[in-house]
Structure 1
């Protein structure tokens, strides 16, 4: 007999996913099939959380060290694509500046005068893999938190929080939900 949560996942896929085609929902459905997942784990899945809570997760997941099995699973299942930095820099000028700033932090002074467009292509800075994307998402959330809070006199408005989550969800699709699911890989 299959577990109720697996049947629930199939119902969600058949009844909801056809109307709400969000790939993160597929990751939620996948999570329902994991044997080690409890009710609290299901309710804590990013697809069910507010943009603010999702933003906190991006920051948390960069600082948590995954096990070897989780790292291997992430490499195999959560690759953001070889051009994720280019996609991010084309999506928003602030994201481009963040990528360029990171390269400037690790490079010698001779590269400091390079344009942001050139620096986005540079192999230094954020790694071109899932772990570089997690680092980038953490830096982006910290950047927006620090700067928007200052500019809005401490009024951390919902539209700002929603904007950051939407940006990251667009340029790094499924990164957060895949990282969440990786927590349960043994």
Structure 2
């Protein structure tokens, strides 16, 4: 099933401050580029159904502009690692992210987020952590121009809960591997971005 949402998220015009960079790093799309994967041993059908529910909830929150719920899908380990690296509590990081979204609403708009749940790829890290890659397409309008990004969303299954995260550039990959050392050695390819009419 292809889940699509029309959302009104926006990003800052320029990412010159820590707050703006943070908002862009963690909130824009949660899309993941391709990763090497193997068959996950421990994922049950119930676990996979839970992933579908998580994605559906994420899409619904995006449609409603419920950004607190959207940020809540980010893996706690990633937020904790980021908070430690900048010397701020996780709650402060989350407040910054929400504030930046509120300030940036007029700059760029996510017109569509589509996640193809019928073509997930499942894998397992060396430490036993299960993950999934969900094919994802986002369409964003920025000051009159429209862009389509094709990638995959990383879903990490941890503590019986699925979390979603974007890995769109070197900084994202570094953030992921700092929080999850078992991803070290996994190669990631870049997402594709095209200008559309």
- State the TM-score, normalizing by the size of structure 1: 0.28
Higher radius of gyration, 1 or 2 = 1
Higher strand content, 1 or 2: 2
Higher helix content, 1 or 2: 1
